[in-house]
């Protein structure tokens, strides 16, 4: 087993057995999306000028990226 695979296996085993990590890995990104995504979207109002996408569309991509790397 390579060093990277061993480290990933250790982190996966730690996160799967500790309920706190499961809570933070799931709920924390959703809280970011709810508070900042919905809140800022309603504060900015509607779509960006000349674009068919709103703020929450861009914010969702950022939250998913942060959650996938574990920094949210």
Within a domain: 61: yes
Within a domain: 51: yes
Is residue 4 predicted with pLDDT exceeding 80? yes
Within a domain: 46: yes
Structure tokens at 23: 């809570």
Give the separation between CA 32 and CA 22, rounded to whole angstroms.
Answer: 16
Within a domain: 24: yes
Write out pLDDT tens, residues 43-70: 766 666 666 667 777 777 777 777 777 6
Q: How many domains does the chain have?
A: 1
Domain that includes residue 25, residue range: 19-69
Within a domain: 8: no
Maximum distance among all alpha carbons in the chain? 52
Write out pLDDT tens, residues 13-35: 887 787 787 777 778 777 877 77
Within a domain: 10: no
């Amino acid at each position: 087993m390579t060093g990277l695979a061993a480290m990933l296996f250790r982190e996966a085993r730690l996160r799967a057995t500790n309920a706190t990590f499961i809570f933070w890995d799931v709920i924390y990104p959703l809280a970011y999306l709810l508070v900042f995504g919905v809140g800022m979207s309603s504060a900015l109002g509607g779509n960006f000028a000349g674009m068919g996408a709103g703020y929450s569309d861009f914010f969702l991509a950022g939250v998913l990226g942060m959650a996938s790397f574990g920094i949210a």
